[in-house]
Amino acid sequence: MSALTVYAASIAHAIRTSLRDRTNFLLQALGMVLNDGFFLVLWFLFFAGFREVGGWGRSDVALLLGIIMIVVAISGVFFGGYRDMAATILKGELDSLLTQPKWVLPRLIARESIPSAWGDLVVGLILLSTTAHLAIVQLPLALIALVCGLTVYVASGTLYASLAFWFAGARSFARDLTDFMLLFSSYPGSIYSGATRVIAYSILPAGFVVLTPVKLLRTPDAETLALAISASTIYFTLAVCAFHFGLRRYRRGDVNASLA
């Protein structure tokens, strides 16, 4: 079986598991819809009162939020293991995966499918198809933008989780970093300048998760496309390398795992 079919099988299993408890699944998905809906109301009020911020209008922020919601949704449904990877590593749960004849990282990522992510998907799709003012003809570009953003998001989550190979405090810190990245990705890019801009385009790469995709869809040009693609390639490579080196450490027994 090729690596792709193995992955597909793993994640299909994870999705089925998340659907098993129907009630819980619906409650979580619906809960997220309500949660997202509420924040959209707040943004609506914001624009009613302030009209625009740094050149970003309501439809621009709608596009931004639509993209980040879909990125988080797809990450959660199909790559859900990224979220609690640090905890998995520190609990010593890698051991059983290491004895199997397949790559560890894909198995880790395909481990879990997060039910609430479906709620994000619903709201994200509604946003993109209504308030974001996207044309049908932009669909291929939107797909590229989403794939790039998604790659950077999951890769960054993996990078943060890989810190667990080096220090035990990463268990909650990795989750914090992912939350910070999400926070940075939920606000219009025009507000970032100086230090925050540097952060948004490096360690908490909201710049590549949402801002470049938004730019790609609002003012598409070759430069932005190249930036989006190279950024996702770089982050992907960094994540795989960091995990690989961390795993080597783990195999040598240098990692203080099984600290439950």
Partner 1 sequence: MRFMRRRSDFPRTADAALAAFGIGLRQAFAAWPVLMGRALFYLVVMAILAALWDKVTAAHLPGTLAAHLPEGALTLYVGVTEWITLSVSAIHLRLEDDIRSGALEPQLLRPKPYLAQRISESLGGAAARLIVLAIAGIALLVLSGRPQPPLLAFMYVAVLGVLGCAIGVLLFTFAGLSAFWIRRVLPPYLIVQKLTFLLGGLFAPISLYPRWLFRFALATPFAAHTFFAGVQIIAPSERFFFFGIGLEVLWIIALSALIALLWRRGLARLLREGSP
Partner 2 sequence: MPVVSVRDLRKTYRYARRRRGLRGLLTGAFAPEIQQVEAVKAISFEIEAGERVAIIGPNGAGKSTTLKILSGILEPSSGEARVLGLVPWRERIRLAYRIGVVFGQRTQLWPELSARDSFALLRRVYDQETEAFASRLAHLSGRFGLAEFIDQPVQRLSLGQRMRCEIVASLLHAPELLFLDEPTIGLDITAKAIIRDVIREQAREEGETVVLTSHDTRDIELVCDRVIVINDGRIVVDEPTEQLRRQFLARKLVTLRSAAPAIALSLPGVTRRESEPHTSMFDVDTRVARVEEVISKALAQGGIEDITIEDPPMEEVVREIYAATK
The four Cα atoms 251, 85, 177, 170 give a dihedral, to 10 degrees, of: -40
Give the CA angle between residues 237, 79, 192 to the nearest 5°: 65
- Please report how close the Cβ of residue 38 comes to partner 1 at its closest, in angstroms: 5
Give the CA angle between residues 251, 253, 254 to the nearest 5°: 110
Residues 6+ apart with CB under 8 A from 100: 107
- Nearer to partner 2 (CB atom), residue 6 or residue 26: 26
- Please report how close the Cβ of residue 22 comes to partner 2 at its closest, in angstroms: 6
Of 71, 208, 86, residue with least CA distance to 152? 208
Structural tokens at position 224: 């932005």
Site for partner 1 in 163-182 (CB under 8 A): 169, 172-173, 176, 180
Site for partner 1 in 38-57 (CB under 8 A): 38, 42, 46, 49-54
- Please report how close the Cβ of residue 213 comes to partner 2 at its closest, in angstroms: 36
Residues that bind partner 2 (CB under 8 A): 22-23, 26
Structural tokens at position 60: 């621009």
Helices (H), 79-194: 85-90, 94-98, 104-109, 117-129, 139-162, 170-184
Which amino acid, residue 163? L
- Please report how close the Cβ of residue 200 comes to partner 1 at its closest, in angstroms: 9
Which partner in partner 1, partner 2, none is near 23 (CB below 5 to 8 A by kind)? partner 2
- Nearer to partner 1 (CB atom), residue 23 or residue 99: 23
Structural tokens at position 9: 């099988």
Q: Are the CB atoms for 32 and 120 separated by under 8 Å? A: yes
- Please report how close the Cβ of residue 143 comes to partner 1 at its closest, in angstroms: 28
193 binds partner 1, rule: CB under 8 A: yes
Length of the chain: 260
- Nearer to partner 1 (CB atom), residue 2 or residue 38: 38
238 binds partner 1, rule: CB under 8 A: no
190 binds partner 1, rule: CB under 8 A: yes
By rule CB under 8 A, what count of residues binds partner 1? 27
Which residues contribute to the site for partner 1 (CB under 8 A)? 31, 35, 38, 42, 46, 49-54, 169, 172-173, 176, 180, 183-184, 187-188, 190-193, 195-196, 199
